[in-house]
Each structure stands twice: as structure tokens, then as C-alpha cells.
Amino acid sequence: MKFVNVCRIAMVLGTALCLTGCFTIQRAKIKSTDKEHVYVANYGWYLFHTVPVACGNANRDRWLPWVMFRDDVTMDKVQGRFMEYANGQRMGVEDMCYTVTDSVMLSIPGIDLPIPVPYLLTYREVQLSGTLVSADRHPTAEKEDGAK
């Protein structure tokens, strides 16, 4: 009976984890300039630090906010979505920075006390942010105009 209750709790927690949606694109206009700050992040859970269990769905034409058993928590996927957004807005990119976070202890993000079970269920997060500027004010546009 206790095993069944533990399985039910694990299923509810797993479902709640997956339904939160782990992929994020946030945008904010900078009012004093014509620039825009863009933040793209994705995180996921892995079994033994290698087998993807659940992560945010980084596809543009997604119908679910998460995917199971696919690794979308990579710099390539996050940067691809960032550049796709920048190109769609016809803006140049400057001041990009990124962060990759790996947690090999069983822990919950935001709580600083990991459970000492290494590599059973691990967490990975990739964050990328940058500033978009209008294409005519981008430094590479000036170089291209000067070369003509």
C-alpha cells in the first residue's frame, strides 16, 4: 500500500514538473533607446546525467511546452531560437552572454540543500541573453556601408 502511494506521488510530481514548461523567451524594450533585451532559457532533467527525461520544447511550432526523452537543453538550440527571433525582427545582436548550469546532486532549483544522491536525477539549464539593436545602427552595418 505504501509503495502504491509513493508511486502516485511520484507520478503527480512528474506530471507537475512536465506541465510547467521549461523553455522561455522573454523580451523587454529599453525605453531610453531603440534597443530590446532578449532572454532565452531552457532547462531539463536527466537520469544519470546523460539520459534526458524531460525538458522544455525548443521547437518554434510546438504544441506542448515540454518534451520527454529528447535533449533540447543545448546552447545550439537556445542560440538558434535567439537568432531566429533577432532575424525575424530584422535586428542586429550585441552584448550576448550565456550561462550553463549543471547540478549532479538530486536537488530542487531554488532550494540550496541538495539530497545526497549523485547522478540519479540531475538538472541542466542553459540561459542566453543579449541586446538587439536596429540593423542600421548595428556596428557590422557601419563596416559594410564603409566598405562599399
Global model pTM greater than 0.85: no
Q: Containing domain of residue 79, as a range? A: 2-147
Instruction: Please write the tens of the pLDDT for every residue from 32-79.
Output: 888 999 999 999 988 888 899 888 888 888 787 888 888 999 999 999
Task: State the residue for C-alpha cell 525582427.
Answer: 89
| Cell numbers for 107 | 536537488
Give 23's DSSP letter. Answer: -
CA proximity to 39, closest of 94, 97, 88, 90:
97
Whether residue 141 contacts residue 148, with contact meaning beta carbons closer than 8 Å, is answered with no
Structural domain total, the chain: 1
Distance between CA atoms of residues 81 and 89, nearest Å: 12
With cut-offs at 50, 70 and 90, classify the pLDDT of residue 148.
very low
Q: Please give the Cα distance from 119 to 103 (Å, whole number).
A: 9
Share of the chain above pLDDT 70, in %: 72
Task: Write down the pLDDT at residue 137.
Answer: 61
